[in-house]
Amino acid sequence: MAIYLQQEVARVETRLKDQSVNMNKLAILLLAAMNIVNERFELKRTNSALLQDISGRSGDLLRLLDESIKTYDSKWLQVDPVQR
């Protein structure tokens, strides 16, 4: 995590170098930390939507499988025992 924070601090410093902004180290560190937190929340939101999609699709598949099994069982029970 420390390396990731160092990389984000370097990225913030590079971005601010081109501007006429003179920030102290604490402000740069806070900005880097806020960027990391924002990135985490975006990932969490994206993953949450993906998880909901996967859960919905899994539920649909399970319902289809259950219906297929019930259909198969009812057809199998209707077959003459001699033919089984």
Model pLDDT for residues 14-47, shown as the tens digit of each residue: 888 877 667 788 888 898 999 999 999 999 999 9
* Domain that includes residue 47, residue range: 2-77
**In-domain check, residue 14:** yes
Q: Total structural domains in the chain?
A: 1
Percent of the chain at pLDDT exceeding 70 = 87
Q: Is residue 84 part of a domain?
A: no
**Residue 64 domain flag:** yes
Instruction: Output the average pLDDT for the chain.
Output: 85
Question: Quick check: 26 and 5 in contact, CB under 8 A?
Answer: no
Looking at residue 81, its pLDDT comes to 60
Is residue 11, in this structure, part of any structural domain at all?
A: yes
Secondary structure class of 42 (helix, strand, coil): helix
Q: Determine, yes or no, domain membership for 51.
A: yes
